[in-house]
Every structure is written in structure tokens, then in C-alpha cells.
Structure 1
């Protein structure tokens, strides 16, 4: 059986109009648009994937941009945020660059001994940038962590420690928010999961500016199948394998209610276009290819920064 999850594969969120989303993530955050496709369940809506230059697992943030999406609000039972890892020596440069570009941010403040600043994307979603000692030529070295908002930290912590191989690495309380940090060993990207509990009452609502699900890595299909069996044996209602073109996926709800996915590393994002030209063309799932002309008429054109 697999011993542990290596880290985060991707995070999928909901946004409002796509152009503002593209401007922020390719412009302000200097990410690469690595795939431009459509929502499998609503082909009149884009599914946009951002990542590092190589479109590697652990760097991928995806969005369903609904033009008429109402505002969402994070709450217990939802993923509440994601954090990018700022490579060694680049944190001050990021603050200077954002200030020069008149991009507002909060901080810096200390979290478990690391400096953090928080931006807001066009839909108000918090985006943390965390100072790390990782060496990278990328502006941001993929994910540092995700934050899950729980009514009770213990059941989710047990899943992550007993099944996924995470270990508790810190506990803080500030401003009425309790934060428990869990880390999976290794040097992969996105090895940190923070669980938070707030004293302030809140009711979450899916919508623009909220996270739909968090995906963890499986090295290949065989490992994913082992995770599927292991989780089912532990009483979790895990879906059948679903083909997402660039990875295979299984889904289940963790005890606190957050939708978890386990996604395979292969085949990757270069399976249907050259690695040097990722994200340039609209790529459609095979079932929608016969309707390409109609879909292209509906989807708004997108401009990518730089």
C-alpha cells in the first residue's frame, strides 16, 4: 500500500469573468497559462490551468471562470486558501514589485517562522506568498500549502496523519483563528496543509473567489488504485476513476466536508500540444470536438500577459 501522499497536485477554484482572472495570474503572479480547455460538465465555460514553465504537479492552479458567477464566501467545510512558495532571496523583491505596480497586499507577517504576504485576486480570493529557502529560477516555485477551514480539526487531521502520511508540524492561535500545520516528508512542492478553526461564526457559499477542490498527487495509475482501495476500506465514499485528459482522478469528501481529489502525475499537459506552446490553443475533450465551432463562438477571446 502507498505509504504517503507526496504533496498537492493542483487546486481548482471558481472565478468570475475569465479575462480578469488571466490578467492577474499571468500578469501579477507571473504564472504560465498551461492549458486552455473547457469545463467537462459545461463546455460553454472555460477551464483554465496555470502553472510553472514546465507545468509540473504541485504548481497547477485551475479555474472555472463563470461570467455571471455570484460572490462566494469561505466557511467551515471548505478549502479557504492557497499559498505560493517564494524562492530563496526573492521575497523582498516581490514586495517591491507589487508596491511599484500599485498592487495592494497585507503583511508581511509571521506564520510558523516564515514571512507571508496576502494578496486578493480579482474575485477577492486570498493568495498567500510565503518566503521559503527553495532554490528556483521561477518567480514562484509552485504551491507552498493549502488551508482547509474545519469546524473540528481532529477528524481531518487524523485522515491526513493516519492515511496520507502527514505529521503535525506546528500549532498557532491568533486573532481568534486556530491553525494546525501538517507536513508530508520530502522535497516535493506543496507538502504543507494548514487546518484552521475560527471562533467567528460563518456559513460558506460556493461562488466566485472560492475553492472547489484540492487535489493530491498519485505517482501513477497503480498507486492511485491503491489509494482508492485503501480509502474505501477506511469507509470513505470514493468515486470511480475519471479521465481528465491530463491526469486521472478519484474524488471523496474528507470528514470535515472539503472535496478531495487524488490525481495522477501522468500523462501531463504536453499530451495534446507541444510543451513550448502550452495554453496557446483551445483544447477540447474528444466528446466536444465535433462542436468546436459552436463552442468557440460562445467562449470569449482571451489575452495573455507577456
Structure 2
């Protein structure tokens, strides 16, 4: 193993568009899908060549609906990929036909370069590298092997201390200065990977977020090399150094003098340590330290489809939401509304246990109370913002009607399940928009609507589950009385529990679904 680039990690906002660009347009292989090592609810995708070799890997952390970052000082700003010089024309035509934003070709350090922008705005440079041998590209159906992307060529780092940045990387990571032009110092490795250090003095500081590159990982021979470098960095007081076992490699993290995050990662054990090369990218890996059920993690992560696979695009509807469609979908659906402090992923594992073959549609409340998402604000422990309840119930009704059309939901085969604040929202919506919700599970619910509209809820099925020691349990009788008085079929089950929900709630909700949703 020689020095070079191991992988580059960036942040994406919309995972399906990201997959479509890197697999569908660029022709890379999805070689790994994992839960994040720091956060199991964060999807992390790895793209590369056919074998997932170090030096070809581009990885993305998914921050769905996350804030846009800002490219600036102390950050890598461009990803360069190697192609044969003769392939520039192919990619120019391909970018035009796919409506990809681009500029060039232009000459940089004597090589033709075509700049593209991915869906998040990250700049991808296709560099025509002389005497490049065709290695192990993933066989994309519409990209000839001779035109395919071969590997990572390099990255551009913005620094207000370019000399110090270049010296740091040269001393510790096996790169050497090879050229300088136009305010850029070029460093090269033994395998001709390059790092371009751009003098960006006076530019604004980078801000983390979607559409930015998180870090560049450089290649280490083995764990011993990583540990030697860590010791050298500590001896020279080069800043905080963190070392981690990332299953597929062992690495350290450190910031170079200009502020950019650098990782130093071993080639081994590699991407095939937990699945064979033939099926790379098909299995979800969940780091062992979470001690989590992979299926529960899977249902919380955003879904996506590879090119050619059946897909369902999440629509722009009144509520931020997450859709999970199981492999053995049976045509039923379960719409989930979280409690205070939850979000659109909180109830997904619960919903998957209740109805494993149902499409799950999980909403995030649009209100905020003491920093937590809710479906409407609380004024005191037992009084609520009545105007907001009405307007958010209207928004929920609009969401339901649009979701029925967008996702093909059959109202007769759809149930709604809410917990705490989400259950209270459903109880209000049942009264304010009769007939819209036919089947509802209200977990730890109370009545929050002060007015008592006269409605007809005949044909509506409701399961209430109340905790015997729930401090709000005494308020459940009012919503039961209202719904039953309006003609709904209401069953209120009392459990020996508090406000929390658990397996007993799952079982009652499952039985309800089997009885009323067919």
C-alpha cells in the first residue's frame, strides 16, 4: 500500500437524489449502507468501484432536511475523480443530456477538467488523467468501461494557512509538493493522488451542513502506522487526535493547521469483511456498540431505490414525514403521530411491530413547545392553544387527503396511531373533520378541544389505551365520552403502566389493526 486518498466523506440532504447521481449518473457502485457510528439513526452510504477498494470510496452522511452548509475556510471543497482524457467528451455529452450543472472543460495542471455539481451543490471534478489504466469499474448499463470513472484523483482544500497546511500533510501523511499555480499548491502521493491546497485567505469560514465535504481520509498501511502517526502528532502538539475502530478500517482524526478535518485510515480489513463482494451494498450494517435490533434501525432510516428498482418518492406535503414501505407490503397503511419530544422517526419501530406488512407514514409535528416538536402548543399542563389545534387539524386533514393520492392509501385500509400529544391531535381531528379518519389508536390520550362540535362518527373505530398510573389518565374519560357519544365504536383498555408505552400497547394495537383494517 502506498500513500494516497482512502475515501472522502460529505453530507447530503436528500438521499434518493444522491443515489441517483452517484450510482445512476456517475456509475459508481453502492458498496455499503450503514447506520452512523455516532448516531444509529443516521444513514451512511459508501460508493466505490466494483470491489469497494480504498482510493475509490466516496461516502455520504444523510442529514435529511438538514440545514445547508457553507463552503469556506478550513474545509475540503471539491472532489476530483479520474477518467481517461478521451472520456471527457463522453461526460460532457452525458452531463448535457442529464441536465447536470457543469462548467468546462478547462485545463488545470496540464489536464482536462470538467466540473459538475451534485444535487446538493458539491463540486465533482472529472479529471482526464494521462496513461490511466482501466481498473475495476462497476459495470454501469449505459457507461462504457473505457469511459468509466476509475478512482478518486484528489480533493481541493481551502486554507488561509496554505503553507502550514501543505507542510502538515507532507510531514505526516506521505504526500510531497509537485506543483504550484494560480494560488494552488499541489501535493501528490506515491499513487498520483493529489491534494490541491488553495490559498483562500480572506474567504469566509466554512459552516457544517448539507452540501459540504466533512473530511478527507488518507491511506495508512496498517493500524501500527495509524498509532505511530497519532504518537507523532501528540509529540508535536498538533491538536486533538481521536482514534476509532470503524469495522472496515482503523483510523484517526485530526485537524490540519487551516482547520480541515483529516482522517488517516487503514486499507484493511475492507468493505468485504461482513459481506461478499458479489452482494456488496445489499446489507445494512449497524455498529455493534449500539446493541440495536437491525430491523428497528432499518425502519427509522430513510428508504431509497437503486436505479432500475421500483421506487416511491416522498412528496412535499404539509408535514415533514417519513415513509417506510416493507418488502411484503399488503396494501394496508399506518399513519403515526409522535408525542412531545419525538419526531418523524420516533414511532417507526413501534409501528413496524404493530403492522409489519403495512406502509408506515410518520409525521413530525409543526409546533414547538420548550424546544420540542409537538402537534400543538400547551399553555398549562391541562390547557392548550385552541386556535392552533384548529389550524393544525386543518393541516392534518389536508395532509391525509394529499397522502392518500400521493402514496395510494386506501382510507378503509388505513389506521392512525398517535401517542400522547399525537393521540390528542387525532382526538381533536376526529371531532373537527369527521369521516376523514376511520380507524384510530389513541395511546395515553386526553381531550384537548374545548368546544364540543356536533358530529357523526358512525363507522369510525377507535382503540384507546390508558395507563393506570398515568398522571393524565384521569382525563381520558372525556375524549372517550365525546367520541362514543358521536357514534364511534370506542374501546378503552386500561394497562398497569404509566404514560410510557410498551409491548402491551403494541399487542393491543396489533389486534385492533387485524380486526378493523383489511
Secondary structure at the aligned position of 1:90 is classed as helix
The alignment's TM-score, normalised by the length of structure 1, stands at 0.91
Distance 1:246 1:217 in 2: 13
| Cα gap change, 1:226 to 1:5, in 2 (>3 Å) | farther
Residue matched to 2:99: 102
Q: Aligned pair 1:154/2:163, yes or no?
A: yes
| 8 A Cα contact 1:88 1:136, kept in partner | no
| 8 A Cα contact 1:5 1:164, kept in partner | no
More strand by share: 1
Secondary structure at the aligned position of 1:6 is classed as coil
Residue matched to 2:184: 179
Query: Is the radius of gyration larger for structure 1 or structure 2?
Result: 2
Secondary structure at the aligned position of 1:159 is classed as helix
| 8 A Cα contact 1:12 1:211, kept in partner | yes
Distance 1:264 1:238 in 2: 20
Secondary structure at the aligned position of 1:127 is classed as strand
| 8 A Cα contact 1:10 1:57, kept in partner | yes
> What is the aligned-residue RMSD (CA, Å)?
1.8
Runs of 4+ with >6 A deviation: none
Greater mean deviation of Cα atoms: 82-91 or 214-223: 82-91
| Per-residue CA distance 1:55-105 (angstroms, 9 max, x = gap) | 011111111111121111111111111100113532222212222333231
| Cα gap change, 1:288 to 1:225, in 2 (>3 Å) | same
Once the 2 structures are TM-superposed, how far is the Cα of residue 157 of structure 1 from its aligned partner? Answer: 1.3
Residue matched to 1:305: 307
Distance 2:75 2:99 in 1: 31
| Cα gap change, 1:260 to 1:267, in 2 (>3 Å) | same
| Per-residue CA distance 1:228-282 (angstroms, 9 max, x = gap) | 2222222223535311111111111111111111101000011111111100121
Secondary structure at the aligned position of 2:303 is classed as coil
5 Å-filtered alignment, 1:221-260, equals: 221-260=223-262
Once the 2 structures are TM-superposed, how far is the Cα of residue 199 of structure 1 from its aligned partner? Answer: 5.9
The alignment's TM-score, normalised by the length of structure 2, stands at 0.55
Distance 1:75 1:240 in 2: 24
Distance 2:241 2:289 in 1: 21
Greater mean deviation of Cα atoms: 49-58 or 199-208: 199-208
5 Å-filtered alignment, 1:125-274, equals: 125-133=122-130, 134-136=132-134, 138=137, 139-173=148-182, 178-184=183-189, 186-187=190-191, 191-198=193-200, 201-274=203-276
| 8 A Cα contact 1:35 1:48, kept in partner | yes
Greater mean deviation of Cα atoms: 255-264 or 288-297: 288-297
More helix by share: 2
Secondary structure at the aligned position of 2:114 is classed as strand
| 8 A Cα contact 2:160 2:202, kept in partner | no
Structure 2: unaligned runs, 5 residues or longer: 138-147, 309-518
Distance 2:174 2:221 in 1: 15
Distance 2:157 2:48 in 1: 21
| Per-residue CA distance 1:8-48 (angstroms, 9 max, x = gap) | 10111111021111111101111100000011122111010
| 8 A Cα contact 1:5 1:216, kept in partner | no
Secondary structure at the aligned position of 1:202 is classed as coil
Once the 2 structures are TM-superposed, how far is the Cα of residue 223 of structure 1 from its aligned partner? Answer: 1.9
